[in-house]
Structure 1
Amino acid sequence: MSQKLPAHHEPNPWNRHLGVGVTPQPQPPTSPGYTMYTNGAIMQLPHMPPMQHHHHQNSLGHYPSPPSHQQQSPAAQPISTHWQQQMMKYEVSCRYAGMDAFQPDILEETMRTARSPHHRARASAMASRNTKSAITITNPNKPPEDETPPSPSLALAMAVGHPSSTVAPSAESGMRPAAPRPPENTWTQLDMGGVNIKSIPANSSLFSFTFLTCLYLNHNALTSVPPEISKLRHLELLDLSGNNLTTVPVEIGLMISLKELFFFDNHLTTIPPEYGTLHRLKTLGIEGNPMDAQLKALLQKDGTPALISYLRDSCPMPLAPPPRPVIQINPTEIGMETFKVFCYNILCERAATAKMYGYTPTWALVWDYRKAKILQEVTESKADIVCLQEVDMGQYEDFFSRQLADLGYEGVYGAKSRYKTMQDSDRRQVDGCATFFKKDRYQLVESHLIEFNSIAMQRTDFKKTDDMFNRVLGKDHIAVVVLLEDLMSGTRIIVSNTHLHWDAAYSDVKLVQTALLLEEVEKVAHGFAKYPPRPPDTPGGTDDDPVPPRPPPPVYADGTKIPLVVCGDYNSVPSSGVYEFLSTGSLPPTHPDFLSHTYGNYTSEGIRHKLGLKSAYTTVGAGGVLEEIMSMTNVTPGFRGILDYVWYAPGNLILNSIVGEIDKTYLEKTVGFPNVHFPSDHIALTATFSVKPPREIGTPRPPPVFS
């Protein structure tokens, strides 16, 4: 374009063709975006007016420029495969393809064609007319599902029951998508190239097209791009080539679905380090820019993934969010007994791999860094009871039990059932649930490990069908239940800590696991209620200075009268059958989450419990509908939603306060967790309760008086 600096451009950039000293072969580029550009047809529209092309002198860095096609080609330094791919993408962007030899006249014509308005849309329309209707033109950036086997690290994560972070941790139905799915629409690509756009306002309706997967803004006259472009979170290809950009917005780093990002032929000197979060990016096009030599050399030598990793690990640490607010629900009455519960899925060490959390800086993903942050969160919570999920057996023994013992906690741990069949070294990597309590306040009366598959095997109404063996019995999830007694008051508390199966395709399994859990909790609670109260204190002190005895401990008529907290990672959203069952106490046998499978009485009579549970993070919304106060407890690129809960029995406990959400402005600028501030992909929950004094047993109500 005429407004670009001619001093930095060669008259004919193709005098430095990538095939140095070798006759170019007519091989099409192998990149996934190639067919999107050509769409099966190379078109020339000679009637379109020519547009001047620009190319920076230093674009090839230390690689030698090829001589003119009329010169003899001396031996030259070979170009790396990464840079060859960069140049092929660049050639496609300029519409140079399919020539048997270097032909500047044809090249200049195709370049003019590429700069014509809506060139790709025209090419696509022509290709569709020339293509048989039986052949589907698909998005080249989205290969067929299940075509590539899972990587070893992903397979390992699946083996331990933890999905990839690039996979939504629990959708409402169906399998977890491999990336955020755009809203349904009949078209997903938009070509705005070559129409001389000079600016895009921040309030442009373009940014409301959140269903787009490909956007072409190439060969215009843009000098800037508004940050609002980051609203197009489902874009897989963004082409800003051939503009007048000197900077690009850091917010593009939030567009985590991007696989191809083209800045060819602009005036960029650097790439923002915030782009290090673009862990799916396959090609970053920078040819034709006066780019920083270090960044360019890294891209030339090791390719786009290496450059993205460098940007990610060298990005300055962002500002920490403000502290999460404490939300008062009910005032704490003077003299009432209170306690605080902290619930947190900490993301076990073996599941936190660079493959699954490619957007997290390497140094922030290592276990030594994360475990220190986890311990900091536990310490700052000042909780009386701590429930952790995804705790490796080895880390419980070597780190958490020791560190929390120094803070005055005693712990109870239960590992997933698979550890029984493993060698000692492998057992240490099996994760489970750990519950800690302040040992100067509570005494452990009993602990119970609930193995869902083992309990299911013992049920006579569960016929040993394929559904049972293939769906329920193959899942080794567990729960840990502790029975505590307050050392001073004698108040009893039951705390359940669990981690259910993650896969949304197994909603029936999660329902069965939840029903089994609550049945066992009811049994344990009724047994606990039958325990005799502690013996009365003997008089202490001296006659002159007597020590007043502790008040008599409460007596519980049945298990439903004992304060109860049921918390954990349920891997179920508020619209799920698991949530409905926990909150309402029953679920019909025809509920769709059973997926038409057969599970004895559960699917013939329905499931029910008598615990009267309520979520601590529930409030009454419009129309009297219960709503969750937290909008998310799990934050990954593919999913943001509620999976973790603290349930309690409001008949025996009063909810005083909860710790609220993370700052929304911070979350809007965050690709996903874990990151430098939050060591897990989950968010910790904290709730404070007051204990309601139990009613006196045996005190009859006064008879009614009739006049």
Structure 2
Amino acid sequence: MNPARRCSALLSQACISKLEGSATRRAFSPASAVLPSRCHYPGGEKVGRQLKSLGASTTVPGHNVNVSVCPMGNNSSRLLSALAQTLNSIPLDQTEENLDQKDVIELDPDQLLRESKEALRRRPARPRRDLIYPKDAVPCRHKLGPSIRVIQWNILAQALGEGKDGFIRCPLEALNWKERKYLILEEILTYRPDIVCLQEVDHYYDTFQPIMASLGYHGSFLAKPWSPCLDVEQNNGPDGCALFYRRSRFSLQTTINLRLSAMMLPTNQVAIVQVLNCRLTGQQLCVAVTHLKARSGWERLRSAQGADLLQSLQSLTAKNRGSHVQSGGTNPLVVCGDLNAEPSEDVYRRFRSSPLGLDSAYKLLSTDGQTEPPYTTWKIRSSGESCSTLDYIWYTRNVLSVDCLLDIPTEEQIGPDRLPSFHYPSDHLSLLCDISFREAL
């Protein structure tokens, strides 16, 4: 194992061990990380660079490493340049939560969207996608409050896209972070979600956290203990899951960071679970984001990871039962994730048959309401073409209703070179739906 990856793993393991000893576990912030003493080795500059990219305050013995917040990367943006200057003036020992709530400038989402479009003017437009309204949607008179917009998206880690995934039909120029980040922001800003669930995030601290905070979101991030991004030269640190919610719509009750287990053994996959209080309705909503083990041959591991997550969610929702529980005695729950599993896999059946009463939102796009989309990811690697349904938004069907969903682009819209591309930043499609609390009957 290379030394940089070993140090990252040690940091993550120390963090997770600490988190597991607490009933209510806060999201790990690398700003408080200390480099383990066993990581004294030649080449410490690389670890310093990796921790620097995370915003960590540390010293690598024997080397001059001046750690500061990573720049935004594209000085052509007035908004982002101002934001970068603000970040560079913030003490490094400041916590993620504090950074969310003070010492950040407010960004105008419309102006940032215009800047994103300007930065992308030489690229073809993103595929047009329409909002589809299910024919059997619950009537408005049976809903509590306005809809909550949720987006689920594996955004493709920058280090993996450029260094490991091998998208043979996608030019490296299309994966340039200085422009690709604007494609990702454009997608989010276009739909203005209340909750954002992301996977393969390796630019959290230098891009997504500060920008989303300045747009009014609170964010949490949890890195994989053994991120494959660290095997790539010039990486930006480990990738992981991120969860954002709009502060004007929700307040936070509980955050739990999970390292998923299989057969009592910890694995490399993680999940963030948060219990939110809706400011408009007074209802509680539990939201989870995860990313299960990839590739064929690991079906049993994915099933075990899914079972572990579902068990944790059952325990959490049982503890939070009370006046906020809806009809049927079930807490409202939304689980977003790249499960890396087709609907034929056992882990999908676990979610569908769980005592939590979960259903998959995107089945509602089908004519029978029982069939998943034909694909949520479509890519071409040297090993061949892969067109699969791996991404899902699950919801408790008896207490939440799905009001509308973002449709899936056609094969023609995606194009013959598939994803990612100049007009789409990830090999996975974003999923989006509006959900509402059902009125108790």
TM range (shorter): 0.5 to 0.7
The counterpart of 2:307, out of the listed 503, 506, 515, is 515
What residue is the counterpart of 2:175 in the other structure?
A: 365
- Deviation string 1:110-152 (CA, Å, 9 cap, x unpaired) is xxxxxxxxxxxxxxxxxxxxxxxxxxxxxxxxxxxxxxxxxx9
Amino acid at match of 2:332: P
In structure 2, the residue matched to 1:686 is: 432
1:631 aligned to 2:440?
no
User: Paired residue for 2:45?
Assistant: none
Within the candidate set 350, 358, 363, 2:159 is matched to: 350
- The percent of aligned pairs where both chains have the same amino acid is 29
Hey, what's the Cα distance between the residues in 1 that align with 2:158 and 2:401?
36
Structure 1 residue 643 and structure 2 residue 390: aligned?
yes
In 2 relative to 1, CA 492–324 (structure 1 residues): closer, same or farther, beyond 3 Å? same
Aligned pair partner of 1:485 in 277, 291, 297: 277
2:127 maps to 1:382: no
Post-superposition offset of 1:555: 3.3
Alpha-carbon deviation of 1:430? Answer: 1.1
The structure that is strand-richer by fraction is 2
* 2:379 alignment partner AA: T
Alignment of 1:322-337 (within 5 A): 322-329=127-134, 330=137, 333=140, 336-337=144-145
CA apart distance, 1:418: 3.5
Q: 1:656 to 1:383 in 2, by over 3 A?
A: same
| Aligned position for 2:336 | 567
Is the 1:414–1:479 contact (alpha carbons within 8 Å) kept by the matching residues of 2? yes
Q: Secondary structure at the match of 1:359?
A: coil
2:284–2:324 Cα contact (<8 Å) kept: no
Residues 540-592 of structure 1: CA deviation (Å, up to 9, x unaligned): xxxxxxxxxxxxxx532899522110110000011111112211x1xxxxxxx
Distance 1:625 1:666 in 2: 24
Q: How many residues align?
A: 312
Deviation at residue 370 of structure 1 after TM alignment: 1.4
Matched with 1:655 is 402
Paired AA for residue 439 in structure 1: R
What is the identity, as a one-letter code, of the residue corresponding to 1:373?
L
Whose radius of gyration is greater, 1 or 2?
Answer: 1
| Cα deviation 1:3-40 (Å, max 9, x = unaligned) | xxxxxxxxxxxxxxxxxxxxxxxxxxxxxxxxxxxxxx
Q: Report the alpha carbon displacement of residue 479 of structure 1 after superposing the two structures with TM.
A: 0.6
Please state how far the C-alpha of 1:381 moved relative to its aligned partner.
1.6
CA offsets 1:377-411 (integer angstroms, 9 cap, x no match): 1111211100000112xx21111011111211111
C-alpha distance in 2 between matches for 1:336 and 1:577: 34
Q: Tell whether the 8 Å contact from 2:127 to 2:423 is kept in structure 1 after alignment.
A: no
Deviations 1:146-200 (A, max 9, x none): xxxxxx9xxx9xx99xxxxxxxxxxxxxxxxxxxxxxxxxxxxxxxxxxxxxxxx
1:57 is aligned to: none
Does the 8 A contact of 1:529 with 1:557 survive in 2?
A: no
The secondary structure found in structure 2 opposite 1:347 is coil
Q: Distance in 2 between matches of 1:347 and 1:322?
A: 18
The answer to whether structure 1 residue 670 and structure 2 residue 439 are counterparts is no
Match of 2:295 in 1: 503
Q: How far apart in 2 are the matches of 1:446 and 1:332?
A: 31
Partner residue in 2 for 1:320: 125
Show the 5 A alignment for 1:127-142: none
- Secondary structure of the 1:555 match is coil
Alpha-carbon spacing, 1:487–1:557, altered in 2? closer, same or farther (3 Å): closer
Distance in 1, matches of 2:304 and 2:260, equals: 9
Query: What is the CA-CA distance between 1:318 and the residue it aligns to?
Result: 7.7
Q: Secondary structure at the match of 1:566?
A: strand
Superposed displacement of residue 620, structure 1: 8.8
Any idea what SS the aligned residue of 2:287 has? strand
1:482-535 deviations in Å (ceiling 9; x for gaps): 1000123211000010000002201000000000000000101111225xxxxx
Q: Write the distance in 2 (CA, Å) between the matches of 1:456 and 1:414.
A: 22
TM-score, normalised with respect to structure 1: 0.41
Mapped contact 1:332–1:656 kept (Cα < 8 A): no
Distance 1:367 1:621, change over 3 A: closer
- Kept in 2: contact 1:386–1:435 (CA 8 A): yes
Report the Cα distance in structure 1 between the residues aligned to 2:254 and 2:123, rounded to whole angstroms.
45
The Cα of 1:427 is off from its aligned counterpart by 10
Letter in 2 for 1:644: D
- What secondary structure sits across from 1:476 in the alignment? strand
Taking a change above 3 Å as real, the CA distance of residues 557 and 354 of structure 1, as seen in their structure-2 partners, is closer
Q: 1:336 to 1:625 in 2, by over 3 A?
A: closer
Map of 2:225 onto structure 1: 417
Q: Does 1:401 align with 2:170?
A: no
1:442 paired with 2:250, answer yes
- Secondary structure (helix, strand or coil) at the match of 1:477 reads strand
Deviations 1:250-292 (A, max 9, x none): xxxxxxxxxxxxxxxxxxxxxxxxxxxxxxxxxxxxxxxxxxx
Q: What is the deviation of 1:336?
A: 3.2
| 2:350 corresponds to 1:581 | yes
Hey, which bits of structure 1, 4+ residues long, moved more than 6 A? none
Matched residue of 1:352: which SS?
helix
Q: Distance in 2 between matches of 1:568 and 1:495?
A: 11
CA–CA distance in structure 2, aligned partners of residues 662 and 476 of structure 1: 32
| 2-structure distance, mates of 1:456, 1:576 | 18
**Pairwise mapping of residues 156-305 of structure 1 onto structure 2 (< 5 A)?**
none
Instruction: Specify the code of the residue in structure 2 equivalent to 1:636.
Output: K
Between the aligned partners of 2:130 and 2:377, the Cα distance in structure 1 is 18
CA distance in 2, matches of 1:517, 1:661: 27
Question: Which range moves more in the overlay, 436-445 or 482-491?
Answer: 482-491
CA distance, structure 2, for counterparts of residue 415 and residue 348 of structure 1: 12
> Which AA in structure 2 matches 1:658?
L
Contact 2:124 2:422 (8 Å CA) reproduced: no
- 1:317 and 1:676 in contact (8 A); partners too: no
Equivalent-residue separation in structure 1 for 2:205 and 2:319 (angstroms): 30
In the alignment, the residues of structure 2 paired with residue 572 and residue 483 of structure 1 have an alpha-carbon distance, to the nearest angstrom, of 26
Q: Which runs of 5+ in 2 are unaligned?
A: 10-120
The Cα of 1:319 is off from its aligned counterpart by 4.9
1:611 match = 356
Deviation at 1:429, TM superposition (A): 1.3
How far is the alpha carbon of 1:317 from its aligned partner? 7.1
In the alignment, structure 1 segments of 5+ residues that lack a partner are 1-151, 161-315, 458-471, 531-553, 586-608, 696-707
Cα separation, 2, equivalents of 1:365 and 1:321: 15
SS at match of 2:268: coil
Matched-pair contact (CA < 8 Å) for 2:327–2:440: no
Tell me which of the two structures has the higher relative contact order, counting C-alpha pairs closer than 8 angstroms and 6 or more residues apart.
Answer: 2
Q: Aligned letter for 2:198?
A: L
Q: Distance in 2 between matches of 1:644 and 1:513?
A: 15
Matched with 2:60 is none
Letter in 2 for 1:416: K
Question: Alignment RMSD, CA only?
Answer: 3.0
**1:117-128 matched pairs, under 5 angstroms:** none
Aligned equivalent of 1:339, options 148, 151, 162: 148
Matched position secondary structure for 1:494: strand
